[in-house]
Structure 1
Amino acid sequence: MPEKSLTDHRAVLMLENGEIFIGNHLGVTGTTCGEVVFNTSLSGYQEILTDPSYKTQLITLTTPEIGNYGIRAADSESQHIHAHGLIIKHYNPYRGRIHATAEKNSDLQSFLAHHNTIAITDIDTRKLTRIIRQAGVCRGVITTEPHSYNELLDFVRKSPHYNNQDLASQVTTNTAYEYNAPPQNLAQPQTNSHHPINQISNPSSTKPTILVIDYGVKQNILRLLAGFNVRILVIPCTTTAAEIKKLNPAGILLSNGPGNPSHPSYQKYIDTIKTLINCYPMFGICLGHQLLALAYGENSYKLTFGHRGSNHPIQTDHSNKIEITSQNHGFAITPSTAPTSPSSQSAPKTTPSNHTQTVFSHINLNDQTIAGFDDPTKMCFSVQYHPEGAPGPHDSYNLFEKFIKRVAKFQKHNNIFTPNQASRS
């Protein structure tokens, strides 16, 4: 291709293999790069954009018509858009009535601009999705600025690899805070008191304390926990095991989040979990699931194109029950005796290695990848999907009740762990 400027076009998407897509821009102007992924959900673009698990990624929405409903403050999964960019087929602007409970920026264009986010429209998202499915996720760049073909290609190929970043530390809370359920009147701000971890005191309340280790937690996880009679304390993912024990929790939830669980910078999170496995009931979601499994000695590997959508079928262990789930992850777990880099999107169904009391409790029926892990003797379990939905189905809400029931059992029987396991002190 001759060396010329691409400025005649209002927006350009270039992949690291040199493929280009020309369209129009939405949101703000500029240049942004990230890992190009696709999500097959029919709706929920606000929740997807504000999910911290999409940190630095360029999200392709396979649904062709996007934008035809408004933005509500209550539907955001965090305070910011974490994706680096959005890729859509056709923007159909919302023209409905602005409700009193809606954000001031009540359409997608204004929402993107408010959060300084670039989007590209009017491209062939079907072709792009086929490229990703066949070749795997890759780096890409969206720009509205004057660049030649070679300049853009050099830029995208020098951009950071998603696999090589500690993204959890970029999205975690800076200070611990007690989560309070949002008010019914959305015009009133939600009040959460933030404090350094060493200034958090044990309350006089009789409610059990659930610690949420924040690797990039979605708000609907906290909303669902708030439906139980518990105190919810959200803490930074950098909190040490010693600091956690001082908070005397009744249970620990390992949240979702972005990044490669096997990256060296995540080892400190895994080591913390290892120390706590014998001490408290645990429930891991997505990245939390992966970190828990790695703490048990299993392996992780990168999927070719990942699982991102709200209609993924999951089968529970020893049952014919099928749950339709919301998923957003690019990595999966495989037993430590299996290869760490399978050549395909799928992995064999098997039981964890060297852990006779643990089981892989859920299987993804699309590709047979492991979707759940359970160790009932230590009250630790996890799933490789989003039981809170947002967006997506509610089939797996019961997992929060399962976690709370284990917390209640732990509180009632403080000596349920065997003598050779670590004490809580």
Structure 2
Amino acid sequence: MALADGTVFLGTGAGAVGTHVGELCFNTAITGYQEILTDPSYASQLVLFTFPHIGNVGTNAEDHEESSVPAATAARGAIFREPITAPSSWRSTNHFDAWLKARGIIGLSGVDTRAITRLIRERGMPKAAICHAPEGGIDTDALVEQARAWEGLDDADLAADVDVDAAFDNSEQLWAAATGYGTLETPRFHVVLVDFGVKKNILRNLASIGARTTVVNGDTSASTIAALKPDGVVLANGPGDPAATDQRSGEMIRALIASGIPILGICLGHQLLALAFGAKTMKMAQGHHGANHPVKDLATGKVEIVSMNHGFTVDPATLPEGVNESHRSLFDGTNSGLSVAGKPIISVQHHPEASPGPQDSFYLFARFADLMDAHRG
């Protein structure tokens, strides 16, 4: 793996053969690597895991988080300390190395992941190129040049590459050990979710509060959404620079806000809501990537441990009057949520669907259901 500043790390290749470029970030989760690597929010990124043993529970067909986009649109690379071991889980159906290869993800082990994590903390998330060549002969100078030449994530509307082409409905509910995924039989609500790279467990959480969800892409007009007669709208997570996606979807979001319909924003959807209200977003040095982030709900005072995956953040100093900070990161004080005075609108920067991660934030879906109930009443 070569960084744009010329730093090179040599290790043992795994997974797909070839070369990929992307932004290098680190993730502090100790479980859920399959969900992480299939999260469309990691499009054009190389994920370094701080937990040393990755792959030891294998993979399965149930834990993918992308909804209907090609596998190649999620993470491009995975970096870990120890070599992949044989799977040891009753749910495993495939070896992690074979899974990486099938999905086109390049793996790299045997590198000092602690040193690379410190590098990212000190210098920010670098542009990088990762290469797996079983026959050897890697030109590291050329790899450095590929990293330098890559355009990066600034001004990139990557959500346009990972959203659905055709609308579809979801009624699949959360997974349970005894029964697997449930099915919503009698919906209480109809929700339209605007897809910018949605994770499946968001859809399942919506089904578990009684919402049949119609998924549409970010190019859908507000009038088309209104014609579906939803009880509420969800703006989903996704990758890339929110300011770039706002250029494409901002007009639709502002029209939804004006309509008075209940809205829930998640991650990129949260940032797009802030932009629609006139606030600004900014690039973070190292981002938030992990399943152990403490966030405070400013309304209740409760601290929840959440999953996060974002490299941009809302600047709270730019929030207009009436748009209020509802959640805050206790790691660095960055904004983690919004509420809007007089409107049924809430949003969070973190991932309340918890795949992977703790389930402390499931209540946000119930809070959204309450908004839809009140709006209908």
TM-score normalised by length of structure 2: 0.92
Determine if the alignment matches structure 1 residue 395 to structure 2 residue 356: no
- Structure 1 CA distance for aligned equivalents of residues 175 and 339 of structure 2: 36
**Partner residue, 2:369:** 404
**Letter matched to residue 65 of structure 2:** E
8 Å contact kept, 1:297–1:336: no
Secondary structure of the residue that 1:165 maps to in structure 2? Answer: coil
- Structure 1 CA distance for aligned equivalents of residues 23 and 255 of structure 2: 33
Q: Which runs of 5+ in 1 are unaligned?
A: 1-12, 193-204, 338-351, 413-425
Q: Structure 1 segments of 4 or more deviating over 2 A?
A: 94-99, 144-150, 182-186, 205-208
Report Cα offsets for 1:71-130 as digits up to 9, x if no partner.
Answer: 12221112636101111111241343665xx54xx1211110111211111000111111
8 Å contact kept, 1:64–1:89: yes
**Partner residue, 2:314:** 333
- Structure 1 CA distance for aligned equivalents of residues 201 and 110 of structure 2: 32
For 2:255, which of 275, 278, 298 is the aligned residue?
A: 275
Secondary structure of the residue that 2:62 maps to in structure 1? Answer: helix
| Structure 1 residues 317 and 32: CA distance shift in structure 2, 3 A | same
- Structure 1 CA distance for aligned equivalents of residues 340 and 250 of structure 2: 17
**Partner residue, 1:300:** 281
- Paired residues for 1:309-348 under 5 Å: 309-335=290-316, 337=318
8 Å contact kept, 2:11–2:108: yes
Secondary structure of the residue that 1:164 maps to in structure 2? Answer: coil
Report Cα offsets for 1:240-266 as digits up to 9, x if no partner.
Answer: 112111111110011100010112x53
Determine if the alignment matches structure 1 residue 228 to structure 2 residue 219: no
- Structure 2 CA distance for aligned equivalents of residues 322 and 47 of structure 1: 24
For 1:177, which of 162, 168, 174 is the aligned residue?
A: 168
8 Å contact kept, 2:173–2:207: no
- Structure 2 CA distance for aligned equivalents of residues 52 and 86 of structure 1: 14
- Paired residues for 1:127-276 under 5 Å: 127-145=115-133, 146-181=137-172, 207-263=188-244, 265-276=245-256
Shift of residue 181, structure 1, vs aligned partner? 0.9
Secondary structure of the residue that 2:11 maps to in structure 1? Answer: strand
- Structure 1 CA distance for aligned equivalents of residues 343 and 350 of structure 2: 21
**Partner residue, 2:48:** 60
Secondary structure of the residue that 1:140 maps to in structure 2? Answer: strand
> Aligned residues: percent identity?
37
8 Å contact kept, 1:363–1:372: yes
- Structure 2 CA distance for aligned equivalents of residues 361 and 316 of structure 1: 6
Report Cα offsets for 1:322-366 as digits up to 9, x if no partner.
Answer: 1111100001111464xxxxxxxxxxxxxx32x2x3310111011
Shift of residue 183, structure 1, vs aligned partner? 10
8 Å contact kept, 1:178–1:233: yes
Report Cα offsets for 1:383-411 as digits up to 9, x if no partner.
Answer: 01001111101111000000011011111
Aligned residues between the structures:
366
Secondary structure of the residue that 1:330 maps to in structure 2? Answer: strand
| Structure 1 residues 207 and 163: CA distance shift in structure 2, 3 A | same
**Letter matched to residue 128 of structure 2:** G
**Letter matched to residue 23 of structure 1:** G
Determine if the alignment matches structure 1 residue 123 to structure 2 residue 111: yes
Determine if the alignment matches structure 1 residue 374 to structure 2 residue 365: no
Q: Which runs of 5+ in 2 are unaligned?
A: none
Shift of residue 278, structure 1, vs aligned partner? 2.4
8 Å contact kept, 1:89–1:121: yes
- Structure 2 CA distance for aligned equivalents of residues 56 and 261 of structure 1: 15
Secondary structure of the residue that 2:128 maps to in structure 1? Answer: strand
TM-score normalised by length of structure 1: 0.82
Task: Report the structure, 1 or 2, having the larger helix content.
Answer: 2
Shift of residue 318, structure 1, vs aligned partner? 4.0
**Partner residue, 2:57:** 69
Report Cα offsets for 1:195-224 as digits up to 9, x if no partner.
Answer: xxxxxxxxxx97431001010000110111
8 Å contact kept, 2:24–2:46: yes
**Letter matched to residue 79 of structure 2:** I
**Letter matched to residue 174 of structure 1:** D
Secondary structure of the residue that 2:252 maps to in structure 1? Answer: helix
8 Å contact kept, 2:174–2:208: no
8 Å contact kept, 1:362–1:371: yes
- Structure 2 CA distance for aligned equivalents of residues 184 and 64 of structure 1: 27
- Structure 1 CA distance for aligned equivalents of residues 113 and 44 of structure 2: 19
